[in-house]
Amino acid sequence: MSAIILSGKEASAALLEELKPKVQALDPKLVVVQVGEDPASASYIKQKFKCCEKVGIRSEHKHLSEETSYEDLMKVVEDLNNDDDVTGFIVQLPLPKHLTDKEPEINRAIDPKKDVDGFGAYNLGKMFLSKDFEDLPPATPSGIISLLEYYNIPVEGKHAVIVGRSNIVGKPLAVMLINRSATVTVCNSKTKNLAEITRQADILICAVGKAHFITKDMVKEGAVVIDVGVNRTDDGLKGDVDFDAIAEIASAITPVPGGVGPMTVTSLIRNCVRAKERQS
Ligand code: NAP
């Protein structure tokens, strides 16, 4: 194996250490709203609270029943918006089926000052202006940028190819990379000749949600490969990237688990600190 392993665990530990004095001074509070019993959500929420504990942020878990109505959830959102003790809050996705269609309305109802997931239109829209307006960026793209910075991987002038165009990963990441002067190509399920495009990437980011979707023949020698995918298989957690084969030719690669995941949680915590700074 020749690739450097981009350890999100290591980078996030360093970032959390940097945040500690600010947390002590500002005393922010994060609330996570969970509706229902999605098992993956339960594990993500556990990681978030573990991270809060590590850095000393106050946190609260508002766990609502699977049957919670749209009106009741909106009331919880409104109460959190109006609670001065709450710095930021997130509504953990995915929501139960009867609420999925209401996701845009729920995101819109969150006060932009408290939108620490950065999924609301106000915070997303501001990012389009420039890097200086990325106040509360979505956690996963922001974590990827921080990971690249931590390992001193330059972005300017590079061709970044993103596979996946979701509103929480692919699209906002494209904007953040453009803000840093990368040349960005974003692919989706209708993209023709995908491998031809991915082979042009200096930095290849995959956020598709299919285990081992990116194979060695789709990667240019020396590329930096960022694997966002988290796929639960019979063999455990797998990324979207065929790690073992691609690590032989990439210059740097993220593992799954231990790559983008910890950076996402850390970025959420950083957003909570930033939100408190801005509110103060
Ligand atoms: P998503 O909303 O399901 O989006 C998947 C994207 O992949 C879509 O844009 C889809 O294209 C594209 N796609 C599907 N098949 C494709 C194909 N054959 N060729 C090219 N593109 C294809 O997923 P997401 O929320 O972005 O998450 C993606 C993965 O990242 C999941 O495994 C998720 O669990 C993981 N994730 C991890 C973290 C973390 O912190 N580690 C955070 C968020 C997400 P269309 O738009 O055309 O359908």
HSE toward the beta carbon, residue 177, CA cutoff 13 A? 29
Identify which of 261, 268, 258, 227 has the alpha carbon closest to the alpha carbon of residue 91: 268
pLDDT for residue 10: 98
Mean pLDDT, the chain, rounded, equals 97
Give the residue-averaged pLDDT of 198-224: 98
84 in active site: no
pLDDT for residue 1: 60
List 34, 114, 117, 242, catalytic entry: 117
The pLDDT confidence band at residue 2, using thresholds 50, 70 and 90, is: confident
Set out the domains of the chain in order of their start, with CATH numbers. Answer: 27-112 (3.40.50.10860), 138-261 (3.40.50.720)
Contact partners, residue 34, CB within 8 Å, separation at least 6: 41, 42, 45, 61, 62, 63, 64, 92
- The answer to whether the CB of 260 is under 6 A from ligand 1 is yes
Tens digits of residue pLDDT in 109-155: 999 999 999 999 999 999 999 999 999 999 999 999 999 999 999 99
Long-range contacts of 120-126 (CB under 8 A, 24+ apart): 124/167, 124/172
192 in active site: no
9 C-alpha to ligand 1 centroid (Å): 22
80 C-alpha to ligand 1 centroid (Å): 30
HSE toward the beta carbon, residue 265, CA cutoff 13 A? 27
Instruction: Check whether 248 has a pLDDT greater than 70.
Output: yes
Tell me if the pTM is above 0.95.
yes
Mutation to probe ligand 1, out of 103, 173, 185, 188 (largest number of atoms < 8 A from CB): 188
Instruction: Check whether 46 has a pLDDT greater than 80.
Output: yes
Tens digits of residue pLDDT in 254-270: 999 999 999 999 999 99
261 C-alpha to ligand 1 centroid (Å): 14
Tens digits of residue pLDDT in 218-241: 999 999 999 999 999 999 999 999
pLDDT for residue 247: 98
230 C-alpha to ligand 1 centroid (Å): 10
Tens digits of residue pLDDT in 161-194: 999 999 999 999 999 999 999 999 999 999 999 9
- The answer to whether the CB of 188 is under 6 A from ligand 1 is yes
117 in active site: yes
